Amino acid sequence: MADQEQKALRDYAMSSVNGATSSIRRPAIQVNNFEIKPAIIQMIQQTVQFRGLSQEDPNVHIANFLEICDSFKHNGVTDDAIRLRLFPFSLWDKAKVCKLRNDITTFIQFEGESLYEAWERYKDLLRRCPHHDLPAWLQLQTFYNGLGATNKSMVDAEAGGALMSKTHEAVYELLEELASNNYQWPTERAMPRRTAGVLELDSITSLADKWQLCLNN
């Protein structure tokens, strides 16, 4: 595991002959008499359903889910083993959950959005969909690919032109630092803009004012 955590981002994108496995590893249960009562499942389905709607807070959902799970125990069975078996029953309306995941995987920086704003918006998408099932390296690569040309060039420059050769931990720290510094930088939206023809109109108005002043004198 230690060697895998130090892999460069580009190494994760390389094809592998190993089969993909689920990111959820449910601990094995050694006892033979373990059973989750239907009443517990119904309680979760009726009281702590997470639909993936924009107004729902996934952190509150998890807190409520854990509160119910902590209300019962079973000798010889760990809390994690119980929670990981019950958690799927707390999810509902998978189509909307998939929509949140799609918002993450198709992330694109808005026009005029600063690096700080884009990074915070992207992290908020991840928080709103905690079961997105995307590995850390893919999250970072998706964000980088969705940046505009200017910000992408800035990230490349700060990374010494070798962003993909860094580990996902190093890339995350770099983005955090750049976004924090960028927080104080003015964005394009903060700059005064003039629509087509306004500059010419301002010049004509200025000349007319000067001409009128000469006539009055």
Q: At what angle do helices 94-105 and 136-146 cross, to 10 degrees?
A: 60
Q: Is residue 11 part of a domain?
A: no
| 101 and 165 both lie in a single domain | yes
Domain match, 77 and 106 both: no
Q: What is the pLDDT of residue 24?
A: 53
pLDDT for position 23? 47
In a domain, 144, yes or no: yes
Q: How far apart are alpha carbons 204 and 198 in whole angstroms?
A: 10
Interval 132-145 mean pLDDT: 92
**Among candidate residues 68, 92, 116, the one where a domain is terminated:** 92
Say if residue 102 is in the same domain as residue 139.
Answer: yes
pLDDT single digits (tens) 78-88: 999 899 889 88
Cα of 117 vs its chain's centroid, Å: 12
The answer to whether residue 210 sits within a structural domain is no
Contact 164, 10 (CB under 8 A): yes
Residue 100 lies in a domain: yes
Q: Tell me which residue range forms the domain holding 157.
A: 96-187
Residue 78: inside a domain, yes or no?
yes
Burial class (CB in 10 A: 0-12, 13-18, 19+), 129: buried
Per the model's pLDDT, the better-predicted residue between 158 and 53 turns out to be: 158
Domain end among 25, 58, 92: 92
Is the model more confident about 22 or about 81? 81
Split at pLDDT 50, 70, 90, the class of 90 is confident
> Both 130 and 175 in a single domain?
yes
Least confident window among 32-36, 61-65, 151-155, 191-195: 191-195
Let me know the angle formed at the C-alpha of 104 by 89 and 172, rounded to the nearest 5 degrees. Answer: 110
The answer to whether the CB of 189 falls within 8 A of the CB of 112 is yes
Looking at the structure, do residues 180 and 142 belong to the same domain, yes or no?
yes
Q: For residue 195, is it within any domain?
A: no
Over residues 187-205, the pLDDT tens digits come to 444 444 444 444 444 444 4
Q: Which of 91-95, 132-136, 200-204 has the lowest mean pLDDT?
A: 200-204
* Mean pLDDT, the chain, whole residue set: 78
Let me know whether 175 and 101 are in one domain: yes
Per-residue model confidence (pLDDT) at position 208? 46
How far apart, in whole angstroms, are the C-alpha atoms of residue 12 and residue 20? 13
Q: 120 with 178, same domain?
A: yes
Are 103 and 145 found together in one domain?
A: yes
Instruction: State how many domains the chain has.
Output: 2
Round to whole Å and give the CA distance between 95 and 32: 36
Within a domain: 139: yes
Residues 143 and 64 in one domain: no
Give a yes or no: residue 193 inside a domain.
no
Are 100 and 157 in the same domain? Answer: yes
Q: How confident is the model at residue 32 (pLDDT cuts 50, 70, 90)?
A: confident
pLDDT at 122 > cutoff 60:
yes
Claim to verify: residue 121 and residue 102 sit in the same structural domain = yes
Percentage above 90 pLDDT, the chain? 33
Residue 174 sits in the same domain as residue 100 = yes
Predicted confidence band of residue 172 (pLDDT cuts 50, 70, 90): very high
Kindly report which listed range (33-37, 87-91, 166-170, 201-205) carries the lowest average pLDDT score. 201-205
